Amino acid sequence: MKRVILGLEKLLANPAEYLCGSTLGLVVNQTSLTPSGQFSIGKFSNNKTFQLKALFAPEHGIYGVDQDMDLIADETDPLSGLPVYSLYGSDTSSLTPSLTILNGIDNLVFDIQDIGSRYYTFIYTLANCMKICAQSNTRMIVCDRPNPINGLAIEGNLVKKAFHSFVGQYPIPNRHGMTVGELAILFNQHFGIKCDLKVIPMKGWERPMWYDQTGLPWVSPSPNMPSLSTATVYSGMCLVEGTLLSEGRGTTLPFEQVGAPFINAERLAKILNKENLPGLFFRPQYFKPQFQKWSGKVCGGVQLHVTERNKIKPLATSINVLFSIKKLYPNDFSWRTEAYEFVKDRLAIDLLYGDSILREAMESGNLSINNLEKTWEEDIKFFSPLREACLIY
């Protein structure tokens, strides 16, 4: 298998081609590795042609050790001895780098593996960095990496303005089919950030590729994204976070299973398999989360087994799962109501879906997934030309 050459490799091989000035900062985490498995932090700090001045940590921390929505504190990096500034602190202001810090930095380099779903917060960390770079006249450099669930498939609706949040900061579909470099171009050109942006493309990546076809090692981008199979279903199954059902956090199969103590696993699997949803089947599953929702309790539910990954529709699948559980257990099913991603005045499910229409239809019992998918077609029709204008590959 021929290996994809990453943007990071091209930057390290010839920094002068991409950098301006002499100083830089890094927005990185544990996925910012060379193909030989070396942290890019060490590679940059040992390079004498420029000065690495600061590191910036997204959600989950600079080495990806913290759980979702755990606050990240400023710290000192053990590898380089440099300060690490949190981009996921105690409030929304913490999600953006300090203008004061960036004023002394000529280049801000972003190199983090995304997973191709609009809920994943790393892409909004990128956007927020780009905004501050526009103010500080810092060059924003994005080292491109693959969209692990391929660069062709698009599914879902656009986030309505009233539901913008850190899991949906811009109106893009749940599954957008873009690389992080292409998203940076979209943010910069269409959403008006207008920073000095330099995207360093990959070499050898093609749009139909899944991550296991790139020749690159899989490194978990976050604690609950352990494998490509997790990423394959995540762009739909993340909706489970908006309920009090377990999405499998606290187990070895996060997002690949869903359940609760009140669910009869065999009954649910039988109902879902009758739907003949494309590209997968449901297996009755019992599991016991070791932390988060239903910690220490045995949950009945289902595991999603992907059989044809190019046919699966993760969002439609997951809505089918949620609606089936709600119809089976109307008195037990409930929405998550506590603050979610720094937002207290709207429900998590509405932020995740990007609209209240899904929740309202489920509550009324009149949900038609076919009708919902037709509304996605209109949104995708609007989004597609904007996306096409930003594609690199």
What is the structure's pLDDT at 380? 98
Query: Token pair 């009869």 is at which residue?
Result: 264
The 8-class DSSP code of residue 103 comes to T
Q: Answer for the pair 25, 107: CB distance below 8 angstroms, yes or no.
A: yes
Stretch 320-341: mean pLDDT, rounded? 97
What is the structure's pLDDT at 1? 78
Q: Strand 83-86 to strand 139-143: parallel, antiparallel, or no bridges (unpaired)?
A: unpaired
Long-range contacts of 272-277 (CB under 8 A, 24+ apart): 272/302, 272/320, 272/321, 272/324, 275/320, 275/324, 277/312, 277/313, 277/316, 277/317, 277/320
CATH classification code of 228-355: 3.90.1150.140
Model pLDDT for residues 166-187, shown as the tens digit of each residue:
999 999 999 999 999 999 999 9
Stretch 134-152: mean pLDDT, rounded? 98
Amino acid letter for position 229? S
Cα distances (Å, whole numbers) of residue 307 to 267, 304, 343: 21, 9, 37
| Domains 7-217 and 228-355 equal at CATH topology level | no
Percentage above 70 pLDDT, the chain: 100
The three-class DSSP label of residue 206 is: coil
Query: Whole-angstrom Cα distance, residue 186 to residue 9?
Result: 23
Percentage above 90 pLDDT, the chain: 97
What is the structure's pLDDT at 35? 83
b/e map 194-216, b = 16+ CB within 10 Å: ebebbbbbbeebeeebbbebbeb
Query: Whole-angstrom Cα distance, residue 321 to residue 265?
Result: 12
Query: Whole-angstrom Cα distance, residue 322 to residue 316?
Result: 10
What is the structure's pLDDT at 36? 85
Cα distances (Å, whole numbers) of residue 352 to 49, 60, 126, 175: 43, 19, 19, 12
Query: Whole-angstrom Cα distance, residue 56 to residue 25?
Result: 7
Checking if the pLDDT of 318 tops 90, the result is yes
The three-class DSSP label of residue 133 is: helix
Amino acid letter for position 118? R
Checking if the pLDDT of 266 tops 90, the result is yes
What is the structure's pLDDT at 208? 98
**88 C-beta neighbours (distance < 10 Å), count:** 23
Written as six digits, the tokens of 65 are: 């050790």
Cα distances (Å, whole numbers) of residue 378 to 79, 155, 156, 268, 373: 49, 11, 10, 32, 9
What is the structure's pLDDT at 153? 98
The 8-class DSSP code of residue 165 comes to B
What's 7-217's CATH class?
alpha beta
Segments making up each domain of the chain, as ranges: 7-217, 228-355
Q: Answer for the pair 113, 33: CB distance below 8 angstroms, yes or no.
A: no
Stretch 23-29: mean pLDDT, rounded? 98
Cα distances (Å, whole numbers) of residue 49 to 12, 52, 127, 139: 11, 10, 27, 17
Mean pLDDT score across all residues of the chain: 97
Residues with Cβ within 8 Å of 285's Cβ and at least 6 positions away in sequence, in order, are: 257, 259, 265, 269, 300, 301, 302, 303
What is the structure's pLDDT at 232? 98
User: Which of 221, 234, 374, 225 minimizes the C-alpha distance to 312?
Assistant: 234
Model pLDDT for residues 158-171, shown as the tens digit of each residue:
999 999 999 999 99
> DSSP secondary structure string, 296-343?
TS-EEEEEEEES-TTT--HHHHHHHHHHHHHHH-TTT--B--S-BTTB
- Alpha helices by DSSP H, listed for 56-168, are 99-102, 122-136
Checking if the pLDDT of 154 tops 90, the result is yes
Checking if the pLDDT of 24 tops 90, the result is yes
b/e map 255-264, b = 16+ CB within 10 Å: bbbbbbeebe
Q: Answer for the pair 144, 201: CB distance below 8 angstroms, yes or no.
A: yes
Cα distances (Å, whole numbers) of residue 101 to 21, 107, 244, 279: 16, 12, 40, 48
Query: Whole-angstrom Cα distance, residue 185 to residue 171?
Result: 15
Query: Whole-angstrom Cα distance, residue 140 to residue 130?
Result: 6
